[in-house]
Amino acid sequence: MGTSRLKSHHPLVLFFLCLVALRCCIMVLRVALPFDLPHLWRQIDTLGVCIRYWLRWQSEALTWQSLLPAVLNSGTSSGITPMEFPLLGLSLAPFFSFGPFWGVKLASLALYLSNTVLTFHAAYLWRRRLVQGVPMELVCLGYIILSVSASYFLKFMPDYLSFILCFLALSGALLKGWTVRALLLASIGLLLKPTTVVVFAFAMVVPDFWQRICKHLLWMLLATGIALLYYTKGLGFIRTYQDGVELFKVTLASPPLNFLEFVSQPREISKLLGEKLLFIPGIFAIVVALPFLSRTRRKNLLITLGLIILQVGTIALLDGGHSFIHEYYFIGCAPLLGLMVFQLYFGFREHQYPVVRKCAWLLVLLGLVGLGKNLEFDLRTLFPRFHQRYLDPMDCDKVKLLTPQLPWGKNFVFRSHGFPYPEAGICFFEREGDAGSRYGIFSAQHPLPADCSLIIAQVGNALVAACSGEEEQLQEQKEK
Per-residue pLDDT tens digits for 154-195: 999 999 999 999 999 999 999 999 999 999 999 999 999 999
Which of 15-24, 27-36, 280-289 is the least confident region?
280-289
What type of residue sits at position 346? F
Closest CA to 50 of 92, 83, 79, 109: 92
What type of residue sits at position 110? A
Quick one: average pLDDT of 77-105?
Answer: 91
How far does the chain reach from its first CA to its final CA, in angstroms?
A: 83
Between CA 140 and CA 120 the distance in angstroms is 8
Q: 277 pLDDT band (50/70/90 cuts)? A: low
Q: Which string of b and e fits 219-233 if b means at least 16 CB within 10 Å?
A: bbeebbebbbebbee
Quick one: average pLDDT of 90-99?
Answer: 93
Residue 269: which residues within 8 A CB-CB, separation 6 or more? Answer: 262, 263
Q: What is the pLDDT of residue 459?
A: 93
Closest CA to 424 of 449, 405, 377, 90: 449
Quick one: average pLDDT of 354-358?
Answer: 70
- Are the C-beta atoms of 168 and 151 separated by less than 8 Å? no
Which of 29-43, 52-66, 99-113, 355-369 is the least confident region?
355-369
For residue 359, the number of C-alpha atoms closer than 13 Å in the C-beta half-sphere is 25
> Of 241-250, 258-267, 274-283, where does the model show the most confidence?
258-267
Residue 160: which residues within 8 A CB-CB, separation 6 or more? Answer: 115, 149, 152, 153, 331
Strands 413-414, 431-432: pairing is: parallel
- Are the C-beta atoms of 396 and 100 separated by less than 8 Å? yes
Q: What is the pLDDT of residue 94?
A: 95
Helix, strand, coil percentages in the chain from 3-state DSSP, rounded to 5: 65, 5, 25
Quick one: average pLDDT of 327-349?
Answer: 88
Q: What is the pLDDT of residue 79?
A: 87
Burial class (CB in 10 A: 0-12, 13-18, 19+), 369: exposed
Burial class (CB in 10 A: 0-12, 13-18, 19+), 310: middle
What type of residue sits at position 18? C
